[in-house]
Structure 1
């Protein structure tokens, strides 16, 4: 028996931020970063908090939030004692807020908190998942946390918040969405519900991501990619992910690259590897190629066209095709390759890859990319 949970209320469309107006007599903590305050983007949230509430803005979030960053946030929570926690920002602010809630609750330093997520980028899907990723800079490791306490109560998707996102971030985060959806689709835990969501997210990315990248004024494209991110998040929250993320988490800890950019470099090679090693994955990838109209062929030809289309999209988004193009060298692989290969195997997302790789497989996949 499987249990499927869709626990987050999702608010979309025009004026979706009005949902915040419904809170009254609450203590609201907004977790964000200094840029969101300095740019006044946080006003989208604060302007909707009515006078019956008391609110506090926590701005000490750093990119790729660290263990120490979360500890500081938990201390802040224990002092303010909020009843509502609003995560406002990209993946870093959301991951930090979720981890703050988790550890604050477990340590008894914060009362029962309702978690609301308002994403300002279109990539992580974290507004609808029970995942969070925290970095340990001492060991150059990223830890994926998975816990029901990380599941947001509400997600608010307002496309106005992603209109000013720079093209390179649109590219990085959009490729992350595609990776989420494709990995959920071939996951060993995939089911008919996650399949439907993954397929729709893939449809939206191939239709709208290049448009969103090329023109920030294309409000339809920005909105649809924002929704694709959320839909892919629901899919992988049910089915989990695969070895592309397993490798990306450890590579990100070592090379300090944007997560979506790492996925963009790895994804074609991972798709090809999975298809070569798993007949089930081969069939599923070919089905996606057929669905997108890339190919009418089944099997290896269909997979090859899908890989080519991923690489073509990556080129249109002006993303690097290798770690070498991103400025890294074979010396970097020599320094970190063995550790990356080992750590990728124990990352929880690799557990649901359609085939279980060896450390040697990971190393062979990485070598041509440096």
Structure 2
């Protein structure tokens, strides 16, 4: 028996932020970063919090939030004792807010709190998932956390908040969306429900991501990519991900390269790896290729058309095709290769990959990209 559960209320459209007006007599803590305050983006939130509430703003968020960052967040938020937490920002602010809530409640420092997520990038899908990723800087590791307490109560999707995202970040986060959708589609736990969400996310990314990259003010493209991110998040929250994320998490900890950029480098190789000697994955990739109008064929020919479409999109987004293009040398990764191979297999997202990898498989995949 499998459970299909959608635990987050999602509000969309240019008036979605008015949902914040529904809160009355609450203690609202906005978790964000300094850029959101300095750029004035925070006003989208504070202008919609009515005077019956008391609110505070916590901005001590670092890129790739660390365990220490989360601990300090718990300490600071416990002083305010919020009844509502609003996370505004990209993946770092959202992951930090979710982890702060989880740790605070596990330690009985933060009481029951309503978690509202307002993403300002279109990539992680974290506004609808029970996932969070925290970094251990001492060990150069990224830990994916999975817990029901991480599931947001409310997600607010307003595409106006992503119109100023730079092209490079638009590309990186968009490729992360595509990876989420493709990995959910071939997950060993995939269902008709997750398939429908993943298929639509892939369709929207292939149609609109390049447009959003070229012209950030293209409101239709921005909205569609924003929704694709959420759809892919809903899909993988049901059925998890795969080896691409398993490798990306550990490589990101070692090389400190943007997560979506790592996924973009790895994704074509992972599709080829999964479809080799794994009939189920091959058939599912081929089916998706036909549904996206990329091929009329079956089997390896259809999979090749899917890989070609991914690499074509990657090139149009001016993203690196390998780690050399991304500015690294083989010497940068060689000392970490054994650890990467081990850690990728231990990553929880790898468990649902359609093909069970070995350490040597991971080593070969990464080595060929240098």
Q: TM-score, normalised by structure 2?
A: 0.99
User: Which residue is 2:363 aligned to?
Assistant: 363
Q: Do structure 1's residue 16 and structure 2's residue 19 form an aligned pair?
A: no
1:119-130 alignment runs, 5 A limit: 119-130=119-130
Partners of 1:151 and 1:248 in 2: CA distance? 23
Q: Do structure 1's residue 189 and structure 2's residue 200 form an aligned pair?
A: no
Deviation, structure 1 residue 216 = 1.0
Deviation, structure 1 residue 324 = 0.6
Partners of 1:248 and 1:287 in 2: CA distance? 26
Partners of 2:309 and 2:277 in 1: CA distance? 21
User: Which residue is 2:148 aligned to?
Assistant: 148
User: Which residue is 2:313 aligned to?
Assistant: 313
Deviation, structure 1 residue 116 = 0.2
Deviation, structure 1 residue 335 = 1.1
User: Which residue is 1:242 aligned to?
Assistant: 242
Partners of 2:333 and 2:48 in 1: CA distance? 49
Deviation, structure 1 residue 217 = 1.6
User: Which residue is 2:297 aligned to?
Assistant: 297
Secondary structure at the aligned position of 1:369 is classed as coil
User: Which residue is 1:69 aligned to?
Assistant: 69
CA deviations on 1:162-200 (whole Å, 9 max, x unpaired) are: 010000000000000000000000000100100000000
Deviation, structure 1 residue 334 = 1.0
Instruction: Choose 332-341 or 221-230, whichever is displaced more.
Output: 332-341
User: Which residue is 1:102 aligned to?
Assistant: 102
Partners of 1:295 and 1:114 in 2: CA distance? 46
User: Which residue is 2:88 aligned to?
Assistant: 88
- Regions of 4+ moved over 6 Å: none
CA deviations on 1:275-334 (whole Å, 9 max, x unpaired) are: 003100000001111111111110000001110110000000000000010011111221
Partners of 2:223 and 2:232 in 1: CA distance? 14
CA deviations on 1:60-87 (whole Å, 9 max, x unpaired) are: 0000000000000000111000000000
Deviation, structure 1 residue 4 = 1.2
Pairwise CA RMSD: 0.5
Partners of 2:286 and 2:215 in 1: CA distance? 31
Is this contact kept in 2: 1:30–1:88, CA < 8 A? yes
User: Which residue is 1:32 aligned to?
Assistant: 32
Partners of 2:92 and 2:333 in 1: CA distance? 26
Structure 1 stretches of 5 or more lacking a match?
none
User: Which residue is 1:60 aligned to?
Assistant: 60
Structure 2 stretches of 5 or more lacking a match?
none
Is this contact kept in 2: 1:77–1:109, CA < 8 A? no
Secondary structure at the aligned position of 1:294 is classed as coil
Is this contact kept in 2: 1:136–1:142, CA < 8 A? yes
Partners of 1:249 and 1:2 in 2: CA distance? 27
> How many equivalent pairs are there?
370
Q: TM-score, normalised by structure 1?
A: 0.99
